[in-house]
Amino acid sequence: MTLDELHLHRLLVAHDGSENADLALRAAITAARRDHAAVTLLAVAPNVATDLSRWAVAAGIPPASQEEVDAEAQQIVREAVERVPTDIPVKMIVRRGKPGPEIIAQARGCDYDAILLGARGVGRVGALVGSVSSYVLHHADIAVFVAHAPKVRHDEQGNPAGVVAAETP
């Protein structure tokens, strides 16, 4: 099933500041315009004490404060909201915790028709071990659409030879 095959009223877009999340947002904007749907943009700030600190220490990165991480998530969702045309109703939400479970909790707490998110987005809020899109695909009770960045083909010498269309499972 594709996004075009559904008639949508409310879309949940998980955004982490990555290129793939921007692709999901663009798909949501197209669908929202077509169906006169509303968009909710969600950013999830990792809990520094339990989620981000272990990853940062393992990666050799000094851990950020919870206030910095929360502010970054707020900024990401504000920037995404600014890209939504004014004729589309949009709401922004920031939650704190592990992205996959928080996306599912938000989806289950409201009457959304679909969740859109990017695949393997290593966004500005912070990279966490594990696949958020895989978690959401396996736990969602509604349609999930995962956006992938366009793949670049390379010629025999390893030089980029062109771009093919984005894939959506």
What is the number of H-type helices and E-type strands within the chain?
5, 7
User: Virtual CA dihedral for 157, 159, 164, 166, nearest 10 degrees?
Assistant: 120
Reading the chain (169 residues) residue by residue, the pLDDT tens digits are 777 777 889 999 999 998 999 999 999 999 999 999 999 999 999 888 777 555 555 556 666 788 988 999 999 999 999 999 999 999 999 999 999 999 999 999 899 999 999 986 454 444 443 488 889 999 999 999 998 876 666 566 666 555 444 444 4
Grouping H, G, I as helix, E, B as strand and the rest as coil, residue 90 is: strand
Structure tokens at 32: 């929202």
How far is CA 167 from each of CA 11, 31, 146, rounded to the nearest angstrom?
20, 17, 9
Nearest to 77 by CA among 45, 119, 38: 45
User: Alpha helix (H) ranges present in 42-141?
Assistant: 53-59, 66-82, 99-109, 132-139
Structure tokens at 121: 């987005």
